Structures are given as structure tokens and as C-alpha cells.
Amino acid sequence: MQESIDLGTLRVVVAAADHGSISAASERLQLAVAAASSRITALEESLGFRIFERSSRGVQLTPAGQMLVQRARALLTDADRLAQHLQGYSQGLQGQVRVLANTSALLEVLPQRLQRFMTEHPLIRIDIEERGSPEIPLALIEGRADFGVVDLPVPPAGLAFTPFFHDTLVLLAPATHPLAQRRRLRLADALDEPFITLSGGTALSNRLMASAAEVGRPLNVRMRMRGFDAVCRMVAAGLGVGVLPLEAIAPQLAHLPVTAIPLADAWAQRQHSLATRAGVPLSPAAATLLQALTR
């Protein structure tokens, strides 16, 4: 007995069983009648039993042939489903994408864009994890994610960057604070104040520290919070001032007694980028998502 049965021959057998005729099966599968008949004959010889009883009226399954056709239908269904899945993967219509994103991206742009993308591509699974921008490059280089959203002034070696979105940093002060009356200021104008910053060495905290160091002043950090909302609430309580992206704190500005004052520093205008490993092709699904995000 042969070790394997090719799917093409099984399709001929199933078609002949469905139509009761080898010639009708040949027409359906666009095969020559002789080719279809020889496939069936060769399979019968290989298996050691007859699949069909042949007559002038056509063909009829033997008991062994009925068992074969029943199993063949299941195999062909699985094979067709596998082919569809593989085609989906190759065309970027199906698969899994791992994304690392900074907090600003998760609050400002990704929810709406991902919702639209997942509606259009329901078979692509997106695993997204919040990380600080300084953490993301190493994870990408080590292959622990397909791409990331970062705010980094200097692109690290080994990564390629695609512009994604902009946002604007503002100084956040209690509504009754004297600084709240200013229409615009530089960070240096607020360095006498205690600061509520983000914890974990974020790109934003690093910018604040670097800007203070440029004017020879330390940043007076009173508290370090894990999220934007916590920073806003501490500022609203009068415990200090903070610096956050304006686009991410609209809900807090609407409901808390705080004021956002534009910063005149050049670094307050931020460019967020999509980062990928340089020279390493993305999977079709990841490439589809990246293209959709930058569209």
C-alpha cells in the first residue's frame, strides 16, 4: 500500500461519488476522463479494494468506498480550511501582532485606530503592552515584539523609525496657583516649584531632568506617580506641578481644578514614532497593522 494518498485523487473520488459518474466528475474538476479514471484505478490498486462498482449507468460506491469517501470529505474540508488560513497569513489578513506602546500612544491615538483596524481585520490578534519609551528599543532588538510606539529624541542603533503622531507638553498647575495666570512659560520658570512626575524613568521624566540640568538647576521631585491621572489629582490637591501631554489629559482638565499652561521649550513639541527592527521584515499581519496605523 502506498504511504500517502494525494488530495487531488481524493477530490476525483468524492466528485465521482457525488455525481455518480466519472465523466461528470472530470467535467467538474476540469480533468480529462481518462486521467480521472486512471487516478481512481491506481488508488484502488494501491488500497487493495474497489471503491466503485462500474456499470453503463455510471459508478456506485462499494461499502469500502463509502467509508473512504466519508473520511475523504473530512480531510478535504480540513485541507481547504488550512489553505484559506495560510492564504490569510500570507496576505496579512490573519495572524498575531505583538506591540509595545508608551502611555501617550495608548491614551491619545491607539484606541480609536485599533478599534477601526480590528473591525476591518477580525482574524488578526493584537497583543499590546504598555511600556515606557526607553524600555521598548531593547525589547524590539531582542525580538520580544513586532514593533513599538516610542518618544525618543535620538533613534537607537538597530531600529528604523516611522513618524506616527505629535503631541504637546504643558505645565499642569493648580487652578489657584500664580503660574496658572501665565499664558506661556518655559520649564525654567517653574523650577522653584515641587514637581509631581511619572515614575520608572519615562521619556518624559528624562526630558524634564535634562531640561533642568541645562540651566544648572535640579528638578525638585516631590512625588512620583505611575499614571497621568494620579499626577493630575496630586496637582489638583495643591501638592505640586507637573508636565504632561495636553492631548492625553482632556478628561482631567474638564473635571479637576487644574490649569494647563503651554511650554515654550522646543522639546515640548513631541514626535512619536513607530519603531521596528532595521533590516528585519515584519510578518504579513504586523506589516498590515503598521500600514494601517500610518495611513
Nearest partner of 164 among 291, 39, 284, judged by Cα: 291
If asked whether residues 174 and 224 sit together in one domain, one would say yes
- Is residue 36 in a domain? yes
Q: How many CA atoms lie within 13 A of 121 on its CB side?
A: 26
Residues 242 and 173 in one domain: yes
Same-domain pairing of 107 and 235? no
In a domain, 212, yes or no: yes
Last residue of a domain, one of 90, 118, 138: 90
pLDDT of residue 57: 86
In a domain, 245, yes or no: yes
C-alpha cell at 42: 491506481
Residue 4 grid coordinates: 500517502
**How far is the CA of 168 from the CAs of 47, 110, 152, 172, 244, in angstroms?**
73, 17, 14, 12, 8
Q: What is the CATH number of the domain that holds 60?
A: 1.10.10.10
Same domain membership, residue 124 and residue 39: no
Show the CA angle centred on residue 143, arms to residues 138 and 145, nearest 5°.
85
Per cent of the chain over pLDDT 70 is 95
User: CATH number for the domain including 240?
Assistant: 3.40.190.10
Q: Averaged over 207-233, what is the pLDDT?
A: 94
Answer yes or no: do 178 and 230 share one domain: yes
Cβ burial of 121 (10 Å; 0-12, 13-18, 19+) is buried
Query: Left, alpha or beta for 190 (phi > 0: left; psi -120 to 50: alpha)?
Result: alpha
18 and 135 inside one domain: no
Q: Is residue 2 part of a domain?
A: no
Q: At residue 28, what are phi and psi to the nearest 5 degrees?
A: -65, -40
Residue finishing a domain among 33, 67, 90: 90
Quick one: how far is CA 208 from the chain centroid? 31
Same-domain check for residues 264 and 251: yes
DSSP, collapsed to helix, strand or coil, labels residue 32 as: coil
> Measured over all CA atoms, what is the biggest interatomic distance in the chain, rounded to whole angstroms?
102
Is pLDDT above 60 for 1? no
Q: Do 116 and 174 share a structural domain?
A: no
Q: Clarify whether residues 125 and 264 are in a common domain.
A: no
Measure the CA–CA gap between 225 and 42, rounded to whole angstroms. 75
What was the pLDDT predicted at 90?
61
The mean of the pLDDT values for the chain is 90
What is the rounded average pLDDT of the residues 104-122? 93
> What is the per-residue pLDDT across 234-270, written as a single tens digit (0 to 9) for each?
999 999 999 999 999 999 999 999 999 999 999 999 9
Q: Work out whether strand 124-130 and strand 95-101 pair parallel, antiparallel, or are unpaired.
A: parallel
- Set of cell numbers at residue 187: 520649564
Domain of residue 43: give its range: 7-90
1 in a domain, yes or no? no
In DSSP terms, 273 is beta-bridged to 150, 163
pLDDT, residue 259, reads: 97
The rounded distance, in Å, linking the Cα atoms of 146 and 165 is 19
In a domain, residue 54? The reply is yes
Give CA–CA dist 194/235, Å, rounded: 10
Segment 71-111, tens digit of pLDDT: 888 888 877 777 766 665 665 567 889 999 999 999 999 99
- Indicate the number of domains in the chain: 3
Q: From the centroid of its chain, how far is CA 8? A: 37
- Integer Cα distance of 62 and 52 in angstroms: 5
Residues 187-194: what's their mean pLDDT?
A: 96
The torsion angle over the Cα atoms of residues 10, 11, 14 and 18, rounded to 10 degrees, is: -170
Q: Are residues 141 and 285 in the same domain?
A: yes
Residue 112 in domain: yes
209 and 252 inside one domain: yes
Q: Indicate the DSSP class of residue 155.
A: P
The domain boundary, picked from 43, 61, 90, lies at: 90
User: Is residue 22 domain-resident?
Assistant: yes
- Residue 42 and residue 62 share a domain: yes
